Amino acid sequence: MAKLTREDVLKLARLARLDLTDEEIEEFSGELSEILQYVEQLQKVDVTGLKPTNQVTGLTNVTRDDEVIDYGYAVGDLLENVPATKDNQIKVKRMLA
Amino acid sequence: MASQWPPVAELAAGVRAGELKAADLVERSLKTITDKKDYDAIIATIEVRARERARTIDERVAKGEKVGRLAGVPFIAKDNFLVFGAETTAASNILRGFEAPYQATAVERLEAEGAICVAKANLDAFAHGASTENSDFFTTKNPHDKTRVPGGSSGGSAAAVVLDMAPFAIGTDTGGSIRQPASFSGCVGYKPTYGLISRSGVVAMGSSLDVIGPLTRSVEDAALVLDVMAARDHLDSTTIDRDAAGYAALPDDLTGKKIGVIKEYFGEALEPAVKKVVDDAVVKIKQAGAEVAEISLPSLPMALAVYYILCPAEVSSNLSRYDGQRYGYTDQDAKDMDESYTGSRGRGFGKEAKRRIMIGTYVLSSGYYDAYYKRAQTVRTKLINEFNEAFRKVDFLLGPVAPTPAFKIGENTDDPLKMYLSDIMTVGTNLTGVPGISLPAGMAENLPVGLQLMAPQKADRALLGFARQTEALIT
Cα(B232)–Cα(B316) distance, integer angstroms: 27
Contact B358, B365 (CB under 8 A): no
Strands B211-216 and B188-191: antiparallel
CB contact A36 to B (< 8 Å):
yes
What was the pLDDT predicted at B1?
Answer: 53
**Which of A4, A10, A41, A57 is best to mutate for the B interface (most B CBs within 10 A)?**
A57
Closest to B101 (Cβ–Cβ): which among A50, A77, A97? A77
This complex has an ipTM of 0.95
Q: CB distance B343–A71 less than 8 Å?
A: no
B181's CB contacts (< 8 A; 6+ apart) are: B150, B151, B152, B153, B154, B155, B157, B158, B159, B171, B189, B215
Beta strands in B126-216 (DSSP E): 168-173, 188-191, 211-216
Q: Residue ranges of chain B with pLDDT lower than 50?
A: none
Amino acid identity of residue B46, one-letter, is: I
Phi-psi region of B191 (alpha: psi -120 to 50; beta: other; left: phi over 0): beta
- DSSP letters for B414-452: T-HHHHHGGGTTTHHHHHHT--EEEEEEEEETTEEEEEE
Please name the residues in contact with B39: beta carbons below 8 A apart, sequence gap of 6 or more: B140, B141, B143, B146, B159, B163
How confident is the model at residue A2, as a pLDDT?
55
Which are the catalytic amino acids of B? 78, 153, 177
pLDDT attached to residue A1:
52
Is B316's CB within 8 Å of A16's CB? Answer: yes
Among chain B residues, the shortest Cα distance to A95 is held by B337
> B98: which chain A residues are within 8 Å (Cβ-Cβ)?
81
B77 three-class SS: strand
Q: Which residues of B touch A72 (CB under 8 A)?
A: none
Cα separation of B463 and B456, whole Å? 9
Instruction: Please answer yes or no on whether B102 and A20 come within 8 Å at the CB atom.
Output: no
Chain A: closest CA distance from residue B206 (Å): 11
d(CA B277, CA B280): 5
pLDDT at B418: 85
Give CA–CA dist B162/B181, Å, rounded: 11
pTM of the complete model = 0.97
Instruction: Determine whether the interchain pair B371/A57 forms a contact, defined as Cβ–Cβ distance below 8 Å.
Output: no
Q: Tell whether B322 is within 8 A of chain A (Cβ).
A: no
Chain B residues inside the 8 Å CB shell of A55: 208, 238
Neighbours of B119 (CB within 10 A): 29
